[in-house]
Amino acid sequence: MSSIRVLIFLCALLAPGLAGAAATVLVFGDSLSAGYGIAVEQSWPALLAERLRREKFPMTVVNASISGETTAGGLSRLPALLEREKPAVVVLALGANDGLRGLALDATRANLARMARTAKAAGARVLLVGMRLPPNYGPDYTNEFHALFAAVAKQEKTALLPFLLEPVARDDGAFQADRLHPTAAAQPKILDHVWQSLKPLLRRP
Phi, psi of 38 (to 5 degrees): -135, 170
Residue 154 lies in a domain: yes
**Is residue 192 in a domain?**
yes
Domain annotation covers residue 8: no
Q: Is residue 169 part of a domain?
A: yes
Mean pLDDT on 54-62: 96
Number of domains in the chain: 1
| Residue at 14 is within a domain | no
> What CATH number is given to the structural domain containing 42?
3.40.50.1110
Q: 7 vs 22, which has greater pLDDT?
A: 22
**Domain for residue 160, yes or no?**
yes
Amino acid at 187: Q
Pairing of strands 89-93, 59-63: unpaired
Cβ atoms of 34 and 91 closer than 8 Å: no
Q: Known catalytic residues?
A: 31, 178, 181
State which residues form the domain around 81.
22-201
- Residue 9 covered by a domain: no
Question: pLDDT tens digits, residue range 141-164?
Answer: 999 999 999 999 999 999 999 999
The whole-number average pLDDT for the span 124-144 is: 96
In a domain, 73, yes or no: yes
